Structure 1
Amino acid sequence: MRKLAFGFCVVFLGLCVGTAPGRAQEERQPSLETDGEGGNFLVIPGIGKIPLPPGARAFGPRHSPDPESQRPEPKSAAPAPPKDPAERKAEEMARLLSRLEQADDEEAAQSAAAMILRRWAHSDSDTVDLLAARALAAETGGSPSLAQALLDYVVTLSPKWAEGFVRRARVRSEQGDDAGAISDLETAAALEPKRFDALAALGALAEKTGEKRRALDAYRKSLAISPRQESLRKTEERLRIEVEGRDI
């Protein structure tokens, strides 16, 4: 036993005694080795291999495995399916309408309104878009009857496209058919309740035909969607006084 205790003392002193810096010190650093059967050994230069008990760490305290580290990684959520074009289009329109409603000034509102009108100007059909373009060319070229004939085909082929009815209403109004124009604008507003342009035009035609209360209602609906229409707001204030009188 004394010889064994003396041997451990020699090992302990050999580890504690400092050595000169440099390569000799690096060569005396202990290292860890593993045999082919899973055994771990601490290798001390000049001493040899010292077997380590199962679970022991050579250069740190013994510890139990961290339960968190043993927990399996959570499965990542499945990626959301890509949105279809109609859904993306609806989301973009909702953002633009929100910008229009919350615009700080008339210039910002006009910018948002222009983008909205450009998007409304396109249908989901190349054929309908072509007919609508030819109708516009006929209208600007001084052929309203041809323009209306083409737009009749447009609303027949695409009866849910509000823009077709807005355009035909304009052509009908130019030809003096106010009743037909009002009917088309009402259809457009029913198909797309956010058509502030159709509501403003409907108000103007209703006022023209003497339906002031109907006109006032249309103006107010248009302003609720696009509050920064300053000229329309003045028109609404004037008509409100005519219809409802001044506030006391």
Structure 2
Amino acid sequence: MRILFAFFATLFLFGAAPAWADDPPAKPPVAATKEARLDQLFADLKRERNERAAERIAGRIWGEWFQSGSASIDLMMQWSQKAMDDQKFDVALDFLDQVVILQPKYAEGWNRRATVHYMMKNFGKSMSDIDQTLQLEPRHFGALSGLAQIMAATGHKQSALEAWQKVLAIYPMMRSAQDQVATLSEELAGEGI
């Protein structure tokens, strides 16, 4: 018995392990990075030909975009959304100004602020925030849609058409983008006659 105890004590003290312990424990699978998840979702979105399935993929992309990685930022985003829902746009802007200051690489903060500026008809400020959003996430079909809407609202139909076409290159099954491309194409063709 003493020999067995001495053997285990030696193993413990000197770090030797029995032969059956040579195999390292199985590591749990590493979760893909946010960027890798987004890359896969965008690839899936581009290939998907079922409108409902594409909407679900787009929803998952929005879910990834909304994750700031900061509880404080997430809370301010929630407060800004509540203020927007209550049409308290100045309050929403106060929160969103803090979001983009505190986390300037968070594309969704810029996009949300662009949306508030758009709702207030501050198109120049909205376009500036859309530009920042697209610098951080060039595939942001929401920001591109906002850009297209501003271009259409300001009478720049060709630019609106081009923005909608960019949306469709990313999200081919977006029904509103398909409709806008068809409408604007017809209008521009009619103007050319």
TM range (shorter): 0.7 to 0.9
Q: What are the equivalent positions in structure 2 for 1:16-31 lying under 5 Å apart?
A: none
In structure 2, what is the Cα distance between the partners aligned to 1:182 and 1:145?
Answer: 18
Tell me: higher relative CO, structure 1 or 2? Use CA pairs within 8 A at least 6 residues apart.
2
- Counterpart of 1:120 (choices 42, 61, 65) is 65
For residue 242 of structure 1, report the CA deviation from its aligned partner. 3.0
Structure 2 counterpart of 1:146: 91
The answer to whether structure 1 residue 106 and structure 2 residue 48 are counterparts is no
Whether the 8 Å contact between 2:114 and 2:125 is mirrored in structure 1 is yes
Whether the 8 Å contact between 1:165 and 1:185 is mirrored in structure 2 is yes
Structure 1 counterpart of 2:162: 217
CA RMSD of aligned residues (A): 2.4
In structure 2, what is the Cα distance between the partners aligned to 1:147 and 1:158?
Answer: 16
For residue 141 of structure 1, report the CA deviation from its aligned partner. 2.2
In structure 2, what is the Cα distance between the partners aligned to 1:244 and 1:191?
Answer: 34
Structure 1 counterpart of 2:110: 165
The SS at the match of 1:152 is helix
For residue 224 of structure 1, report the CA deviation from its aligned partner. 0.3
The SS at the match of 1:221 is helix
Q: Which has the larger radius of gyration?
A: 1
Q: Output the amino acid matched with 2:166.
A: K
In structure 1, what is the Cα distance between the partners aligned to 2:40 and 2:146?
Answer: 24
In structure 2, what is the Cα distance between the partners aligned to 1:167 and 1:226?
Answer: 20
For residue 244 of structure 1, report the CA deviation from its aligned partner. 5.2
Q: Output the amino acid matched with 2:165.
A: R
Structure having the larger proportion of residues in helix: 2
* TM-aligned CA distance change 1:191 to 1:244, over 3 Å: farther
Structure 2 counterpart of 1:234: 179
Whether the 8 Å contact between 1:135 and 1:148 is mirrored in structure 2 is yes
For residue 148 of structure 1, report the CA deviation from its aligned partner. 0.5
> Where do 5+ consecutive residues of structure 1 fail to align?
1-75
The SS at the match of 1:142 is coil
In structure 2, what is the Cα distance between the partners aligned to 1:184 and 1:244?
Answer: 31
Structure 1 counterpart of 2:17: none
> Where do 5+ consecutive residues of structure 2 fail to align?
1-22
- What are the superposed Cα offsets for residues 95-139 of structure 1, whole Å, 9 maximum, x if unpaired? 111111111211111010011101101102222111111111121
Q: What are the equivalent positions in structure 2 for 1:62-141 lying under 5 Å apart?
A: 88-141=33-86
For residue 88 of structure 1, report the CA deviation from its aligned partner. 2.2
TM-score by length of 2: 0.78
- What are the superposed Cα offsets for residues 218-238 of structure 1, whole Å, 9 maximum, x if unpaired? 111110000001231121122
The answer to whether structure 1 residue 179 and structure 2 residue 124 are counterparts is yes
Structure having the larger proportion of residues in strand: 1
The answer to whether structure 1 residue 196 and structure 2 residue 137 are counterparts is no
In structure 2, what is the Cα distance between the partners aligned to 1:174 and 1:95?
Answer: 32
Q: Output the amino acid matched with 1:160.
A: K
The SS at the match of 1:124 is coil
